[in-house]
């Protein structure tokens, strides 16, 4: 009953007419731009969160490679989103719309001139581009964790190039870019449970199926546990991601020029935080019941699953609904991780349960909490699945049969760090199993 309560109990405050409290055009432009910039650098900081989470959960002999992958994918995403991605994602802004199914392309992105302001948009287009670019990089980060410890750097970076230049921007164009999911189906994804997280999740799942599990992971029907090197580092990464999510969801309000907008951003912060709290608590409870001990990695992924689950609609739900949505997201992780092991799908950091499965859950539940229909949400989920899975399968397969995806067994067993980077993150631990 407490979770479903709809009205907070607190002292009454004087009502404010949000429309009457809107600031002037120039000031609104500044505040809107500032929201994009603050949200953008918070989401950029999530790149550090992904890097630390993955570095903590892989074995010592693969840590440097994982760090290289994360700083490389962020940089590739920035370049590709500037060259082509933004135009495809937002055809109404920069390119031509090809029947609502794929954005057009009219040249690389260009900013306003020095000292100029884009008064027609209500915000600086440069701030908008930066905010959208860091979302693109987040999608690539999801793939990195799943395929850790057994993929070579070069084919991974080639896939990231295609993912950030074409695969992700096309999905974005369908909804945020005014494409067919938005106009024909009323699909709603406030900050990207499907557009960002499930896109990365589908690409990761297909990659894991084609790449195969790590050597020795599944032997004689049993799952061999490969403990992470640094749990405190992974925990730090989780908290960094949690912090960055306030920019991810909060700045997706896209405006801060009225009292109503600022109030909504504040509500988004609260709902986002409480969904993560619900995910952590339920993960701890369920692992304690199921395994007779609480699992710290499940707790971390419970937080992330709660955050992914609320991302599709962090404004409309009550706090109670947000906690419930996050709790179900955390439960999804606890039950999906062992399911993947039964299917022999090796996901090193649990990104598929967190970003793909919880992303689907968060998108579908918008039919309950937001202004969307279940059919419209389902169509968005399925369209994303088909596009990302088919194109990813083609790219992964071509890379596998041409330059190869995996290192030799000798290199994989010895660890990728010496071969790929020449640097051991933890000297003396290179022989860790």
The predicted structure's pLDDT at residue 427:
78
How many other CB atoms are there within 10 angstroms of residue 367's CB atom?
Answer: 17
> Domain tally for the chain?
1
User: Which token pair is 409?
Assistant: 């067994």
Within 10 Å of residue 221's Cβ, how many Cβ atoms? Answer: 7
Average pLDDT (353-360) is: 98
Which residues lie below 8 Å from residue 288, measured CB to CB, with a gap of 6+?
Answer: 294
For every residue of 12-67, DSSP letters joined together read ------TTTTPPPHHHHHHHHHHHHHHHHHHHHHHHHHHHHHHHHHS-GGGHHHHH
103's CB contacts (< 8 A; 6+ apart) are 87, 88, 89, 90, 91, 95, 96, 97, 169, 170, 173, 177, 179
CATH of the domain at 169: 1.10.3430.10
Residue 153 lies in a domain: yes
- Domain assignment present for residue 149? The answer is yes
Determine the structural domain holding residue 150 and report its residue range.
25-108+121-259+368-421
DSSP state of 224: P
Question: What is the C-alpha radius of gyration for the chain, rounded to an integer number of angstroms?
Answer: 21
Query: Across-strand partners of 103?
Result: 97
433 falls within a domain: no
Query: What would the pLDDT profile of 86-141 be if each residue is shown by its tens digit?
Result: 989 988 644 444 555 565 555 666 677 777 776 667 888 899 999 999 999 999 99
Q: Are 333 and 350 in contact (CB under 8 A)?
A: yes
Q: Is residue 351 part of a domain?
A: no
CB 310 within 8 A of CB 322: yes
Is residue 173 one of the residues assigned to a domain?
yes
**Tens of pLDDT, residues 181-195:** 999 999 999 999 999
180 within domain boundaries: yes
Structure tokens at 244: 């960055």
Residue 217 Cα distances to 9, 235, 331, 406, angstroms: 51, 24, 24, 15
User: What is the pairing mode between strands 102-103 and 97-98?
Assistant: antiparallel
Q: What CA–CA distance (Å, rounded) separates 133 from 32?
A: 17
pLDDT at 256: 93
Token pair of 396 as six digits: 């992964």
Q: What is the pTM of this model?
A: 0.91
Which range (16-30, 155-169, 286-300, 396-410) has the least confidence?
16-30
Q: What is the pLDDT of residue 104?
A: 58
Distance of alpha carbon 232 from alpha carbon 286, whole angstroms: 22
C-alpha 10/C-alpha 270 separation (Å) is: 15
- Nearest 5°: CA angle at 346, between 343 and 352? 90
CA–CA gap between residue 208 and residue 98 (Å, rounded): 32
Asked whether residue 55 is domain-assigned, the answer is yes
Question: Can you tell me which residue has the tokens 């938005």?
Answer: 182
**Average pLDDT in the 136-155 region?**
97
> How many alpha carbons lie under 13 Å from residue 1 in its C-beta half-sphere?
0
Measured CA to CA, the distance from residue 34 to residue 41 in angstroms comes to 11
Sign of CA dihedral 261, 263, 266, 267: negative
Predicted pLDDT at 298:
97
Whole-number Å distance between alpha carbons of 197 and 161? 17
Q: Helices (DSSP H) in 251-373: which residue ranges?
A: 259-291, 296-311, 319-342, 351, 358-364, 366-369
> Once rounded to an integer, what is the mean pLDDT over residues 18-31?
71
- Using one digit for the tens of pLDDT, what is the confidence trace for 297-326? 999 999 999 999 999 999 999 999 999 999
Kindly state whether residue 278 falls inside one of the protein's structural domains.
Answer: no
Query: Per-residue pLDDT for 15 more than 60?
Result: no
């Amino acid at each position: 009953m407490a979770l479903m309560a709809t009205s907070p109990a607190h002292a009454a405050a004087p009502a404010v007419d949000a429309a009457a409290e809107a600031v002037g055009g120039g000031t609104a432009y500044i505040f809107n731009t500032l929201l994009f910039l603050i949200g953008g650098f918070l989401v950029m900081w999530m790149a550090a969160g992904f890097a630390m989470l993955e570095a903590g959960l892989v074995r010592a002999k693969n840590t440097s490679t994982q760090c290289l992958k994360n700083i490389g994918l962020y940089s590739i995403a920035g370049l590709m989103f500037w060259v082509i991605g933004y135009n495809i994602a937002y055809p109404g802004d920069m390119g031509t719309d090809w029947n609502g199914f794929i954005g057009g392309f009219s040249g690389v992105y260009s900013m306003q001139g020095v000292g100029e302001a884009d008064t027609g948009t209500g915000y600086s287009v440069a701030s908008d581009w930066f905010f959208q670019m860091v979302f693109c990089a987040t999608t690539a980060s999801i793939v990195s964790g799943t395929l850790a410890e057994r993929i070579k750097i070069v084919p991974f970076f080639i896939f990231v190039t295609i993912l950030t230049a074409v695969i992700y921007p096309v999905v974005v164009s369908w909804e945020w870019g005014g494409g067919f999911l938005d106009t024909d189906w009323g699909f709603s994804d406030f900050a990207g449970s499907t557009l960002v997280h499930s896109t990365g999740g589908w690409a990761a799942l297909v990659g894991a199926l084609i790449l195969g599990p790590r050597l020795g992971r599944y032997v004689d029907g049993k799952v061999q546990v490969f403990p992470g090197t640094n749990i405190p580092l992974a925990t730090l990464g989780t908290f960094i991601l949690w912090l960055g999510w306030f920019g991810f969801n909060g700045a997706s309000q896209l405006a801060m020029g009225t009292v109503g907008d600022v109030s909504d951003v504040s509500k988004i912060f609260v709902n986002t935080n409480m969904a993560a709290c619900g995910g952590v608590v339920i993960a701890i409870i369920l692992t304690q019941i199921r395994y007779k001990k609480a699992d710290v990695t499940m707790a971390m992924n419970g937080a992330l699953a709660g955050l992914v689950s609320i991302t599709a609609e962090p404004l409309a739900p009550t706090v109670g609904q947000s906690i419930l949505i996050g709790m179900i997201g955390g439960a999804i992780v606890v039950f999906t991780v062992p399911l993947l092991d039964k299917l022999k799908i090796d996901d090193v950091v649990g990104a598929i349960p967190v970003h793909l499965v919880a992303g689907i859950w968060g998108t579908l539940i918008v039919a309950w909490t937001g202004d969307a229909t279940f059919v419209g949400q389902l169509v968005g989920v399925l369209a994303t699945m088909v596009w990302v899975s088919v194109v990813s399968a083609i790219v992964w397969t071509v890379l596998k049969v041409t330059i190869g995806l995996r290192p030799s067994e000798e290199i994989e067993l010895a660890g990728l760090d010496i071969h790929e980077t020449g640097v051991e993150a933890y000297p003396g631990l290179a022989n860790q199993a």
